[in-house]
Structure 1
Amino acid sequence: MISRYLGDQITHIQPTKKAILLIGARQVGKTTLLKQLFSDALWLYGDDADTRQQLSNPNETVLKNQLGTNKTLVIDEAQRIENIGLTAKIITDRLPNITLILSGSSAFELANKLNEPLTGRKWELQMFQLSYDEMCNYHTAFTENRLLKQRLLYGYYPEVVLGEGNQQTILKEISSAYLYKDILTWENIHKPDKLERLIQAIALQVGQLVSYHELGQIAGLSSATVERYINLLEKAFVIYRLGSFNRNLRNELNKSRKIYFYDNGLRNAVINQFQPIELRNDIGALWENYLLAERTKYLSAKKIYCNRYFWRTKDGAEIDYVEEYNGEIYAYEFKWSSATKAKFSKSFVEQYKPVETKLIHSENYMEWLR
């Protein structure tokens, strides 16, 4: 069994009696983890029509009868239940001996229903695909490092990691069956082909500055619709945006953004490219996407809170990744080959005086992700 960091976090906060909200992309292992932690709980499923009807307009008496002697209630796919926020509020306020856990794959829907009713009454945790660190703990860092090229191609979805020999089939199933499900369901999108073209265009521009206008031309969408779809894809945990760092220099880009995928395998499945690393011309994009995704997981697991950016000027000077902790700057360049020399902009270094400037490559990345 692969131990997940969130398991320890959930166990630690459980005695507080606040509701626990576990969110994340489909197929990352939310239900599996909760089954391990709360096997004796009462489980209710938002996919079930009877459950939706019973929990949409409940009262304290109905909930008490339904819970019986159970001390823990898990509601899976909670975003599908109308008024779930009010239901959760009743449980946390009036049934203090009940531990309530809610899970869902649709942040934009679940958060909207829970934020106001559960203000001050919940812990919100995001679950990612498996991480480099978790896999090192599972079968040693030596073994995981040997699998680096495979991770760049197939990523860290649990079913993919455990499905030796079937990675492409599993990823294509995830990308076709689950990738757009929340968005298509909740946003009533009637032309998923344009959404698919949009995400393919994003996948081909990983690590590059993106233009909503250009993406719209490729997908046949307006710039406003592109921005709305990107926002939805981000809230469904498919992609995330990285903004540009700017403070003082006149020629810094200040409204630009880059877009990355939470998982390399999903990115490759979207564009149906699984050629070996040695035969690819996008190794730089794969490496950058991998490092940023794993760094995201690392920061979340270690509860390190920082601002995250890339940096670029109008004349093309660039730094791949910048972290800001309490006003201190750390700058990183990403190169697949350890033989490549890192060049950090003189103007950036002089202006911001970073605490650290470091090249992250395939021979030293391990220390940066654990």
Structure 2
Amino acid sequence: MGTMIYRIMTKRVIDSLKGGRVVGLFGPRRSGKTTLLEHIKKEKGGGVLMVHGENLDAAEALSSQRTSVLARFIGDKKYLFIDEAQKIHNIGTNLKLIVDTVPKVSVLVSGSSSFELRNKIGEPLVGRSIYYHLYPFSLEEVKTDVSEMNAKLEELLIYGLYPQVYLEATIDGKKTQLESIRDGYLLRDILELDKVKESTFIFNLLRLIAFQIGHDVSYSELASNLNVNKKTVMRYLDLLEKSYVIFSHSGYSRNLRKEFTKSPRFYFWDNGIRNSLIANYNRLNLRDDVGCLWENFCMAEREKLLANNSISANRYFWRTYDQKEIDLVEERGGKLYAFEFKYSKDNIHVPKDFIKSYPGSEFVVVNKNNYLEYLTGQKVPRRQVAP
């Protein structure tokens, strides 16, 4: 467990630490934010004051709204790091006071509850804050040589890339770690924010989503299955996105009347969490959902790749009413990059309607033979180019 995986985000966070600025680091619980803060603190030497938002002494000083108290608390430190900063009352206003009155100090705050922390620090610090997201390990961060990665691939598809799960040596240990995250951390921010004591409904909602990877999701159908109204389903899916459990894509449409865009598709940030929710850790040869696992894994890795490397792109799926579809369409730099995720197949052809409507787009099938090229930033898709 002592292995240290270098996080790609590290240099960007360090480079952003400047006097008079607040850097925010958001991401799911247990994704490694505290470890990254500790690493940066060690790199910076003795000039860092690092506190936790649940520490009562720190919370009292950092919620005081008194410049003398804040200045005395910081002392002669050049850096102030606050882990789980959303726990501190009026943290945004107090950070603004620090930036205004102690401009030599660089501030780094972390939070798993992005919807709470960003709301608290966003408005008071407009123009003086910058945000980053730290997700579970990415394939780009853990990659070694091809043969070793291929040997690990099945394990990654089943148990995912949460740091403590990936670094756990045994299969039983991985299961225990995943179930600890699922039961102890996964929904904590939502339950605290929404004052919900019963998590059964949310887990049932997530299980329904787990079986619909790669398919359009009907809010009305989910509501009917859960015996709640549509607005309740939409509210909790939104909260689950903001707490980094799932993410969604909408349908892409520009030219064709028969392009379908009404219903979104949802994916999990981590395969292991998805599998823990449905209690299925079976090997791939015993599963009927390998396609779902592969699509979710590839989709999450593309998201991490773009975020970790500051690549701006709009992400969609593409589907027509007559069931022609493409798993992922990235719109960046005025061009479309289309991806189809198939674990074993490589002879999938781009739909003719897509070629006709979007000439000049690029298309690739990502499978178990070429995934490292497209999920770790080694290559831009150029296999089947639309005329």
Band of TM-score, shorter chain: over 0.9
Q: Which of 300, 322, 347 is residue 293 of structure 1 equivalent to?
A: 300
**Secondary structure of the equivalent of 1:308?**
strand
CA distance in 2, matches of 1:145, 1:48: 44
> 1:82 maps to what in 2?
89
The answer on whether the counterparts of 1:198 and 1:218 sit within 8 Å (CA) in structure 2 is no
Shift of 1:141: 4.2
Task: Give TM-score, length-normalised by structure 1.
Answer: 0.96
1:333-344 matches, cutoff 5 A? 333-338=340-345, 340-344=346-350
Q: Which runs of 4+ in 1 moved over 3 A?
A: 139-142
> 2:374 maps to what in 1?
368
> Is 1:218 the counterpart of 2:221 in the alignment?
no
CA distance in 1, matches of 2:37, 2:291: 36
The answer on whether the counterparts of 2:246 and 2:267 sit within 8 Å (CA) in structure 1 is yes
CA distance in 2, matches of 1:55, 1:16: 18
CA distance in 2, matches of 1:164, 1:210: 36
Which whole-Å deviations, capped at 9, do the CAs of 1:189-226 have from their partners, x for residues lacking one? 24321111101111111111101111112223211000
Q: Which of 4, 11, 28 is residue 14 of structure 2 equivalent to?
A: 11
Matched AA of 1:203: A
Where does structure 1 lack aligned partners over 5 or more consecutive residues? Answer: none
Corresponding pairs, count: 367
The answer on whether the counterparts of 1:132 and 1:144 sit within 8 Å (CA) in structure 2 is no
CA distance in 2, matches of 1:205, 1:100: 41
1:184-223 matches, cutoff 5 A? 184-223=191-230
CA distance in 2, matches of 1:142, 1:105: 35
The answer on whether the counterparts of 1:195 and 1:219 sit within 8 Å (CA) in structure 2 is no
Q: Which of 73, 76, 85 is residue 69 of structure 1 equivalent to?
A: 76
> 2:381 maps to what in 1?
none
Q: Which of 29, 35, 39 is residue 36 of structure 1 equivalent to?
A: 39
> 2:359 maps to what in 1?
353
> 2:383 maps to what in 1?
none
CA distance in 2, matches of 1:176, 1:365: 32
Where does structure 2 lack aligned partners over 5 or more consecutive residues? Answer: 377-387
Shift of 1:17: 4.2
Shift of 1:188: 1.0
CA distance in 1, matches of 2:337, 2:245: 26
Matched AA of 1:344: V
**Secondary structure of the equivalent of 1:315?**
coil
Shift of 1:341: 2.0
CA distance in 1, matches of 2:124, 2:79: 20
> 1:238 maps to what in 2?
245
> 2:384 maps to what in 1?
none
**Secondary structure of the equivalent of 2:322?**
coil
Which whole-Å deviations, capped at 9, do the CAs of 1:100-121 have from their partners, x for residues lacking one? 1100000111111111001111
Q: Which of 279, 285, 303 is residue 272 of structure 1 equivalent to?
A: 279
The answer on whether the counterparts of 1:330 and 1:354 sit within 8 Å (CA) in structure 2 is no
C-alpha distance 171-257 of structure 1, shift in aligned 2 (>3 A)? same
C-alpha distance 37-141 of structure 1, shift in aligned 2 (>3 A)? farther
> 1:130 maps to what in 2?
137
Which whole-Å deviations, capped at 9, do the CAs of 1:217-263 have from their partners, x for residues lacking one? 22232110000000000000110011100112111112221000000
> Is 1:158 the counterpart of 2:163 in the alignment?
yes
Task: Give TM-score, length-normalised by structure 2.
Answer: 0.92
> 1:21 maps to what in 2?
24
The answer on whether the counterparts of 1:197 and 1:218 sit within 8 Å (CA) in structure 2 is no
The answer on whether the counterparts of 1:317 and 1:345 sit within 8 Å (CA) in structure 2 is yes
Shift of 1:336: 0.5
> Is 1:145 the counterpart of 2:150 in the alignment?
yes
CA distance in 2, matches of 1:13, 1:46: 22
CA RMSD of aligned residues (A): 1.3
The answer on whether the counterparts of 1:23 and 1:105 sit within 8 Å (CA) in structure 2 is yes
The answer on whether the counterparts of 1:329 and 1:353 sit within 8 Å (CA) in structure 2 is no
The answer on whether the counterparts of 1:242 and 1:259 sit within 8 Å (CA) in structure 2 is yes
CA distance in 2, matches of 1:188, 1:238: 18
**Secondary structure of the equivalent of 2:12?**
helix
Which whole-Å deviations, capped at 9, do the CAs of 1:44-63 have from their partners, x for residues lacking one? 21122333233223311101
Identical counterparts, % of pairs: 40
**Secondary structure of the equivalent of 1:74?**
strand
**Secondary structure of the equivalent of 1:15?**
coil
The answer on whether the counterparts of 1:84 and 1:114 sit within 8 Å (CA) in structure 2 is yes
Shift of 1:329: 1.1
Shift of 1:92: 1.4
> 1:114 maps to what in 2?
121
CA distance in 1, matches of 2:320, 2:373: 29
**Secondary structure of the equivalent of 1:38?**
helix
Matched AA of 1:5: I
CA distance in 2, matches of 1:225, 1:71: 46
